[in-house]
Structure 1
Amino acid sequence: MRRLIGASGLLLSILCPGAALSASEPATMKIVYTDYRPYSWEEGSQVIGLEVDLLEEALRKRLGITLEHKVLPWERAQQQVRSGLADAFVASPSPARLVYAVASREPVSYWDLSLFFRKGDRRLAGIRSLEQLAPLRIGTLLGNAWVKDKLGNLQVQYLAKMEQLPPTLLAGRFDVIPDNPYVIHHLLKRGGYAAEIGETSLSGHRTEMLLYIGKASSFASRLEEVDQVLQAMRADGTWQRIHAQYRVDN
């Protein structure tokens, strides 16, 4: 019987070279992002950014988890976790996401809010609350759950890519982009739109960005460890140091 088992294993290793190693190979955690600089973006074949550095520190260095990073359109990235093709993403709190994923208690990062509009549009000058946006047309990224939850009852136009937002705003297709100032500042600088687009900051809307792990993922059971490591990174200053490298206030 032992010879039969040994022969079967040898045959399997010849026919399927990877099969014999699969049991001992560590599982890889597949994390998906979108192009959302400075939080995440793709440069050549490498995925880089604030979120990537934070998760490399927390998950790979401190928990020993092998990671794979991938940038996708934001709606598709979330669908990958929803369908089990990827393990995790970082995003703002949303009840809809909790249907198919579990969320960390500790934030990976955070999201501030500014309103971006065509310079000269006087309607935006005095706005200090979300309620005052009711008469205006909103532009945002497809898959933005914060906008859907907070402003979904207004006129919202969803675009597939972040870089489409400034030129579409200037073309008059919508009136305002409510989004993270760190991200939009990058877009305006790269696209040369800074002279044409104004900004109004809305205080009191800082939103934590959490790690969502799909309920079907084998890594969902390690969420408590992730929370402990993220808490430790804040306590020892690593979390703040990585944010400062990307000039994101903390």
Structure 2
Amino acid sequence: MMSIKRRDIIKGLGAVAAGACCDLSGAGAKAAQPLIIMHNEDFPPFEYDENGTAAGILPKKINTILARSDEYIAIHRTNPWRRAQQIIRIGRADGLSAYPSLERLEYIGFNETPLETITLGLVFAKDHPKRAEIESISSLKDLKKFRVVDVFGNGWSKQKIAPIVDIEWVQSFDQVFEMLAKRRTDVHVVVSLKTAKWQFRHLGARIKDVTFMPRPDLSPPIPIHFGLRRTLAGYETILRRFDELYDENRSI
């Protein structure tokens, strides 16, 4: 399991210190509080690992919101999604951006205003013998007729789909597409149209045998919120301040 080291925090604060003016009279000045934020290393374009750095819509948006004040600074880290959440659960990191599933609410508090909302789609093999049946799915309950695959750590799927059908969990979207293409499973419920478009644009030949069908009718939009572990001192105050800063510029 990844270790968050003190030098990581110092490195993250370096950019702030480098740009700050030296105020010899500012004895009352307060340093920004570092918040170690974990991200899914494989959820593009929202969050992903790019050459060892957290990239994507969500880390950028968090930085933009916090930049409106000098109270907090985010230090972003990526990991496989299930591991990233476990690191927060045991108190070795502070927060994330995610759907507020019942399981996450046990140890994470979330802000009020969603950072993003996402809608569903289905991914399946182009030559699947039951393609017509998959395309005619009219509700999540219809998934019980099929074999479903998903990536470990998807809290929405665990809460909404796992009670309907046993999900085969894998480590990455690459594995999802490989299993679908080889028809070792039937369907993947992708929780974001943006994610599906990114994958189909960037993964090239690896997904040439599968297809994507937007299905926003299968579920209300899924909210992605900013969250902090409940064991973090003052987490509720930080979340309220985060919402205040967010509301000041809703055009982010």
TM-score under structure 2 length normalisation:
0.79
- Among candidates 45, 51, 55, match of residue 44 of structure 1: 51
- Among candidates 239, 245, 249, match of residue 223 of structure 1: 239
Q: Do the aligned residues in 2 keep the contact of 1:139 with 1:165 (CA within 8 Å)? A: yes
Equivalent residues, number: 213
Show CA shifts across 1:138-178 (max 9, x none): 11110111111111120201111222211121122211110
Once the two structures are superposed, the pairs formed by residues 59-138 of structure 1 within 5 Å of their partners are 59-62=66-69, 64-120=71-127, 121-138=131-148
1:232 pairs with 2:248: yes
In 1: Cα distance, 2:175 partner to 2:234 partner: 34
In 1: Cα distance, 2:124 partner to 2:69 partner: 42
1:212 pairs with 2:223: no
In 2: Cα distance, 1:203 partner to 1:38 partner: 18
Show CA shifts across 1:61-85 (max 9, x none): 4354122101100001111111111
Letter in 1 for 2:95: A
1:31 pairs with 2:37: yes
**Which runs of 5 or more structure 2 residues have no equivalent in the other structure?**
1-29
Letter in 1 for 2:216: S
Provide runs of 4+ in structure 1 moved above 6 Å.
Answer: none
Q: 1:89 to 1:219 in 2, by over 3 A?
A: farther
**Which runs of 5 or more structure 1 residues have no equivalent in the other structure?**
1-23, 239-250
CA RMSD of aligned residues (A): 1.8
Show CA shifts across 1:105-158 (max 9, x none): 110112211011111322212123211111111111101111111111202011
In 2: Cα distance, 1:83 partner to 1:61 partner: 30
Instruction: Report the more deviating stretch, 143-152 or 214-223.
Output: 214-223
In 1: Cα distance, 2:222 partner to 2:247 partner: 17
In 2: Cα distance, 1:137 partner to 1:194 partner: 19
Letter in 1 for 2:230: K
Secondary structure of the corresponding residue to residue 32 of structure 1: strand
- Among candidates 156, 170, 177, match of residue 181 of structure 2: 170
Larger radius of gyration: 1
In 1: Cα distance, 2:108 partner to 2:155 partner: 14
Higher helix share: 1
Instruction: Report the more deviating stretch, 24-33 or 49-58.
Output: 24-33
Cα offset for 1:25? 5.2
In 2: Cα distance, 1:99 partner to 1:48 partner: 27
Letter in 2 for 1:225: R
- Percent identity between the two aligned chains: 22
TM-score under structure 1 length normalisation:
0.79
